[in-house]
Amino acid sequence: MDIPFHLCTLKQQELSAVAALLSLCFYPQDGWRSWFTPLLQMGIFHDLQSRYSVHRSPYTRLIGAQILRSTSSELIGTVEVSLKPLSPWSPFAPAVAYISNLAVVPPYRSQGVGKQLLLACEPIVRQWRQNHLYLHVLNDNTPAQRLYAKVGYQLTHPNARQASLIFAPSKRLLLSKSL
37-63 burial, b at 16+ Cβ within 10 Å, e below that, comes to eeebbeebbeebeeebeeeeeebebbb
- Residue 61's DSSP bridge partners are 81
Residue 39, pLDDT > 70, answer yes
What CATH class is the domain 6-178? alpha beta
pLDDT of residue 12: 86
pLDDT category at 56 given cuts 50, 70, 90 is low
pLDDT for 61-111, tens place per residue? Answer: 889 999 987 777 899 999 999 998 887 777 788 889 999 999 999 999 999
Q: Which residues pair with 175 in a beta bridge?
A: 135, 155
* Chain centroid to CA 49: 15
The pLDDT assigned to 154 comes to 96
β-pairing, 60-68 vs 73-84, is: antiparallel
Residue 146 above 60 pLDDT? yes
Whether 134 and 99 have beta carbons less than 8 Å apart is answered as yes
Q: Which pLDDT value is given to residue 34? A: 79
- Residue 54 is predicted with a pLDDT of 59
Please check the confidence at residue 46 and state whether its pLDDT lies above 80.
Answer: yes
For the chain, what is the mean pLDDT? 86
Q: What is the band of 42 on the pLDDT scale with cuts at 50, 70, 90?
A: very high
Q: Radius of gyration of the chain from Cα atoms?
A: 17
Tell me the pTM. 0.86
Tell me the C-alpha distance between 96 and 103, whole Å: 21
For the chain, domain boundaries: 6-178
pLDDT value of residue 168: 56
154-164: pLDDT as tens digits? 999 754 545 54
d(CA 38, CA 133): 32
